[in-house]
Amino acid sequence: MIEDIQKFFIGLKASGINLTIFYDAFDFERFVSGLLTTCELVLICTLFSVLIGGFGAAVLTLSRGPAARIVQAYVALFRNTPLLVQMYFFFFAIGSLMPTARNGIGLPVPMIENFTWAVIALSLYAGAFNVETFRAGLGAVHNSYEEAALALGYSRRQAFRYVLVPLGLRFSFASLANNLVDLTKSTTVAYAIGVAELLYVSNQIWSDSLNTFEMMNVMLAIYLILTGIVVWLIARLQAAMRLPGFGAS
């Protein structure tokens, strides 16, 4: 079976389409590890960015004081500056202040490696967009719901926790799907600080095997599939959490 696939792609090479990843074990392994790293980045950053977004939106909704100001400044700063410069700022500038450890042969290695910096930068960047998304979702819940909850004896905090959040979350899905698609696409920027994700390994493969055009198309197809999966998962989640008679869908 595997040999048949390899044979097919070796035959394809003769006709000018050189997809080394399907018959060369070394390229295949590199490619799969890059794909896994990309998936890891997407999953971890999704988790953190949603947490940041939820926390930020809660602060903006519940408070008017300095805490809200800080969140607003964070959102404005991270949304209006380049992700790549943010990532360099974390990796090179902040990274230069971090302590280093020594590895087995006594060479200095940074305590926080590039993958971690990529997670930090991507989570903060996507988190800023999620704050806006969740805040808008909470804002879309009509005031009468909160008033009704308060009239029933809920405190403001309880009304937020048990009424506003469950309803607001349902208004946020479309915009959240958009943000997470953008996050998936943005993981390619981690290439710039040397994280061996899909773009990075693809670059290595086409440098070695001189099949730039083929690898680019494979990469494009993979990102389309990944963003498609993200959209599909959010749609599934949205359908599972649907309240009959509430909201647009």
Q: Toward other proteins, which CB reaches closer, 23 or 38?
A: 38
Question: Pick from 25, 111, 220, 241: which binds other proteins (CB under 8 A)?
Answer: 220
Residues 198/37, Cβ–Cβ less than 8 Å: yes
CA 147 to CA 159: how far, in whole Å? 9
- The yes or no reply on residue 82 touching other proteins (CB under 8 A) is yes
CA 211 to CA 65: how far, in whole Å? 57
Residues 61-80 binding other proteins (CB under 8 A) are: 76-77, 79-80
Q: Toward other proteins, which CB reaches closer, 51 or 73?
A: 73
User: What residues contact 183, with CB distance under 8 A and at least 6 apart?
Assistant: 42, 45, 46, 49, 122, 126
* Dihedral sign for Cα atoms in the order 233, 239, 240, 243: positive
Q: Toward other proteins, which CB reaches closer, 34 or 160?
A: 34
- The yes or no reply on residue 179 touching other proteins (CB under 8 A) is no
Smallest distance, other proteins to C-beta of residue 110, A = 13
For residue 237, which of 183, 151, 174 has the smallest C-alpha distance? Answer: 174
Helix or strand holding residue 135 (H, E): helix 114-139
What separation, in Å, do the N-terminal and C-terminal C-alpha atoms of the chain show?
A: 45
Smallest distance, other proteins to C-beta of residue 199, A = 6
- The yes or no reply on residue 98 touching other proteins (CB under 8 A) is no
Render 60-83 in DSSP notation, one character per residue: HHH--SHHHHHHHHHHHHHHSS-H
Six-digit token string for 19: 């997809």
Q: Toward other proteins, which CB reaches closer, 5 or 85?
A: 85
CA 1 to chain centre: 35
Question: Pick from 120, 189, 195, 205: which binds other proteins (CB under 8 A)?
Answer: 189
* Binding-residue total with other proteins (CB under 8 A): 36
Question: Pick from 20, 37, 49, 86: which binds other proteins (CB under 8 A)?
Answer: 86
- Amino acid (1-letter code) at residue 4: D
Binding mask 120-159 for other proteins (x = CB under 8 A): ----------------------------------------
Q: Toward other proteins, which CB reaches closer, 1 or 93?
A: 93
Query: What is the signed CA dihedral for 53, 89, 72, 159, rounded to 10 degrees?
Result: 20
Stretch touching other proteins by CB under 8 A, among 49-57, 93-101, 108-116, 152-160: 93-101
- The yes or no reply on residue 35 touching other proteins (CB under 8 A) is no
Q: Which spans of this chain sit near other proteins (rule: CB under 8 A)?
A: 76-77, 79-86, 88-89, 92-94, 96-97, 181, 185-189, 191-192, 199, 203, 212-213, 216, 219-220, 223-224, 227-228
